[in-house]
């Protein structure tokens, strides 16, 4: 088919084709009547807790919420986010200047470079990593510089290995712990080194903390903003999507340095509107209401994690039991690339996973499995792998 309209040059820096091919293979398998077990998408299968849904229903019926919302978010929502942060992480935030509501954290992550990156500026991006870090960089005219996340380093970037000329041109450093896709976690000492690095090189330190509440065996991830002096250089993105099973609701927030949030807010006022206020009311209920639903969610994911990882270990796969996130990072058997093994599992066993190389070249050699199906389906997946 001929292309009538030439696409913008910036789109050439993106690589959606791998995932499009996987989706094509999925559709072909479904047409053949294959029973697919989808471990490929990080979208919770658990429902939003009823008390949050009820708050939305009540708020949606209130006509005062039917007009344009404020760009920065309702004062009550920002206050709820600040109070939640103080209770959960011991981090004190000013709701007026240090909290900004977002239409899901993805929106803020994608827009941040537009506020601070000029063409030619470098953005330091973990590899493998969430693709939006690179997409936002490319759309702003910036230059992505990959920070390899290697097993021997605990999937933490080696900040000291960044070349001096890159440090000089870099404007933003992205981190994400608990990590997607590797499920790695970062100790407080690493966060402290990252803050010191950002202060030394005058960088914006941007931390994606979407998975902080999905953790196991008594472990609870911390906030980078708990490091003394972090608010001088850092912002952190959080989302209600994973914590409260609200992915479709599109509500999150950014917190931290007021000047950085102000720049991000300037982009928001020109490119989008605020979050529907009824959804913000539901967000307030999520953050201030009973948290036993979060603990129950952890138990569900922990059981799924144990069934999948223990099963994989029995079958000889190279895999470690993650301390957090709902992902399992699985070494690919010899003789396969990550893409080939993904295709093999899909065509031969009806198991959908994501190839590690889809998150960056240093993801080669791994596949990612998401714990977002019922434990009975995970047991079935292990059984299918055994038969392979």
pLDDT surpassing 90 at residue 9: no
Query: Is 356 a member of any domain?
Result: yes
Segments of the chain assigned E as strands: 37-38, 99-102, 122-127, 143-148, 170-175, 204-208, 234-239, 252-256, 327-331, 351-352, 354-355, 366-370
Regarding whether 126 and 32 lie in a shared domain, the answer is: no
| Local confidence band at 11 (pLDDT 50, 70, 90 cut-offs) | confident
Regarding whether 191 and 318 lie in a shared domain, the answer is: no
- SS3 category, 39: coil
Regarding whether 352 and 277 lie in a shared domain, the answer is: no
Query: Is 5 a member of any domain?
Result: no
Q: Kindly state the percentage of the chain with pLDDT values over 70.
A: 97
The domain boundary residue, chosen from 239, 263, 288: 288
Nearest to 383, CA basis, from 351, 354, 339: 351
Angstrom distances, CA of residue 125 to CA of 17, 18, 89, 158, 165 = 20, 20, 25, 12, 16
Q: Report the pLDDT value the prediction gives residue 272, as an integer from 0 to 100.
A: 87
Regarding whether 58 and 34 lie in a shared domain, the answer is: no
pLDDT surpassing 80 at residue 225: yes
Regarding whether 272 and 296 lie in a shared domain, the answer is: no
Regarding whether 297 and 182 lie in a shared domain, the answer is: no
The domain boundary residue, chosen from 288, 315, 350: 288
Query: Is 7 a member of any domain?
Result: no
Regarding whether 112 and 24 lie in a shared domain, the answer is: no
Q: What CATH number should be reported for the domain holding residue 258?
A: 3.40.640.10
Within 13 Å, how many C-alpha atoms sit on residue 372's CB side? Answer: 20
Q: 287-304, pLDDT tens digit by residue?
A: 999 999 999 999 999 999
Query: Is 4 a member of any domain?
Result: no
Count of domains for the chain:
2
Regarding whether 91 and 23 lie in a shared domain, the answer is: no
Task: Locate 147 and state its tokens.
Answer: 């920070």
Regarding whether 258 and 118 lie in a shared domain, the answer is: yes
CA distance between the termini of the chain: 39
DSSP-derived letter for residue 224 is G
Q: Cα separation of 271 and 310, whole Å? A: 47
Q: Cα separation of 161 and 165, whole Å? A: 12
| Local confidence band at 16 (pLDDT 50, 70, 90 cut-offs) | low
Q: Cα separation of 73 and 101, whole Å? A: 5
Residues ≥6 apart with Cβ < 8 Å to 277: 59, 64, 65, 69, 74
Q: 325-377, pLDDT tens digit by residue?
A: 999 999 999 999 999 999 999 999 999 999 999 999 999 999 999 999 999 99
| Local confidence band at 13 (pLDDT 50, 70, 90 cut-offs) | confident
Query: Is 3 a member of any domain?
Result: no
Q: Cα separation of 184 and 206, whole Å? A: 17
pLDDT surpassing 80 at residue 22: no
Q: Report the pLDDT value the prediction gives residue 15, as an integer from 0 to 100.
A: 66
The domain boundary residue, chosen from 288, 314, 336: 288
| Local confidence band at 267 (pLDDT 50, 70, 90 cut-offs) | very high
H or E element, residue 354: strand 354-355
Task: Provide mean pLDDT across the span 120-135.
Answer: 96
Angstrom distances, CA of residue 128 to CA of 134, 238, 356 = 11, 20, 7
Distance of CA 188 to the CA centre of its chain: 19
User: Which residue in the block uniquely carries the two structure tokens 């690493």?
Assistant: 190
Task: Provide mean pLDDT across the span 80-89.
Answer: 98
Task: Locate 336 and state its tokens.
Answer: 């396969």
User: Which residue in the block uniquely carries the two structure tokens 């990550």?
Assistant: 338
How big, in percent rounded to 5, are the helix, strand and coil portions of the chain?
A: 50, 15, 35
Task: Locate 327 and state its tokens.
Answer: 């992902």
Query: Is 280 a member of any domain?
Result: yes
The DSSP annotation for 246-287 comes to: -GGG--EEEEE-HHHHHHHHHHHHHH-----HHHHHHHHHHH
The residues that bridge with 335 in the sheet, in sequence order, are none
What is the span of the domain harbouring residue 173? 50-288
Regarding whether 94 and 129 lie in a shared domain, the answer is: yes
Task: Provide mean pLDDT across the span 39-53.
Answer: 94
Dmax (CA) of the chain: 61
Q: 129-175, pLDDT tens digit by residue?
A: 999 999 999 999 999 999 999 999 999 999 999 999 999 999 999 99
Q: Cα separation of 177 and 221, whole Å? A: 8
Regarding whether 337 and 197 lie in a shared domain, the answer is: no
Q: Report the pLDDT value the prediction gives residue 1, as an integer from 0 to 100.
A: 45
Of 33-42, 43-52, 215-224, minimum mean pLDDT range: 33-42
Q: Cα separation of 134 and 331, whole Å? A: 24
Query: Is 348 a member of any domain?
Result: yes
Q: Report the pLDDT value the prediction gives residue 173, as an integer from 0 to 100.
A: 98
Nearest to 262, CA basis, from 50, 61, 137, 111: 111
Query: Is 22 a member of any domain?
Result: yes
**Chain-wide mean pLDDT for the chain?**
95
Angstrom distances, CA of residue 210 to CA of 178, 214, 270, 336 = 8, 9, 25, 31
| Local confidence band at 5 (pLDDT 50, 70, 90 cut-offs) | confident
Q: What CATH number should be reported for the domain holding residue 376?
A: 3.90.1150.10
pLDDT surpassing 60 at residue 231: yes
Regarding whether 114 and 17 lie in a shared domain, the answer is: no
The pTM for the full model equals 0.95
Residues ≥6 apart with Cβ < 8 Å to 263: 112, 115, 116
């Amino acid at each position: 088919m001929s292309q009538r309209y030439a696409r913008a040059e910036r789109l050439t820096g993106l690589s959606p084709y791998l995932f499009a091919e996987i989706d094509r293979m999925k559709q072909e398998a479904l047409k053949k009547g294959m029973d697919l077990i989808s471990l490929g998408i990080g979208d919770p299968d658990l429902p939003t807790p009823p008390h949050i849904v009820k708050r939305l229903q009540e708020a949606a019926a209130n006509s005062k919420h039917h007009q344009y919302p404020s760009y920065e978010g309702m004062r009550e929502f920002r206050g709820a986010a600040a109070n939640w942060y103080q209770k959960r992480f011991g981090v004190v935030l000013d709701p007026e200047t240090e909290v900004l509501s977002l239409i899901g954290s993805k929106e803020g992550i994608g827009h941040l470079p537009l506020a601070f990156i000029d063409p030619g500026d470098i953005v330091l991006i973990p590899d493998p990593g969430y693709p939006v870090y690179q997409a936002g960089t490319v759309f702003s005219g910036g230059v992505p510089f990959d920070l390899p996340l290697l097993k021997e380093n605990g999937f933490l970037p080696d900040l000291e290995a960044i070349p001096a000329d890159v440090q000089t041109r870099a404007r933003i450093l992205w981190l994400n712990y608990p990590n997607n896709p590797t499920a790695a976690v970062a100790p407080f000492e690493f966060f402290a080194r990252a803050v010191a690095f950002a202060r030394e090189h005058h960088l914006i330190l941007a931390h994606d903390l979407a998975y902080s509440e999905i953790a196991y065996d008594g472990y609870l991830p911390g906030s980078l903003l708990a490091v003394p002096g972090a608010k001088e250089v850092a912002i952190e993105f959080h989302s209600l999507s994973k914590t409260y099973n609200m992915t479709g609701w599109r509500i999150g927030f950014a917190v931290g340095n007021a000047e950085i949030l102000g720049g991000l807010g300037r982009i928001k006022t020109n490119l989008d509107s605020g979050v529907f206020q009824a959804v913000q009311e539901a967000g307030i209920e999520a953050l201030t209401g009973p948290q036993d639903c979060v603990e129950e969610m952890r138990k569900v994911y922990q059981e799924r994690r144990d069934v999948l990882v223990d099963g994989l270990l029995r079958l000889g796969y190279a895999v470690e039991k993650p301390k957090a996130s709902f992902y399992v990072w699985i070494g690919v058997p010899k003789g396969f690339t990550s893409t080939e093994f993904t295709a093999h599992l899909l065509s031969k066993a009806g198991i959908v996973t994501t190839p590690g190389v889809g998150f960056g070249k240093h993801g080669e050699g791994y596949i990612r499995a998401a714990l977002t199906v019922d434990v009975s389906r995970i047991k079935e997946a292990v059984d299918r792998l055994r038969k392979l």
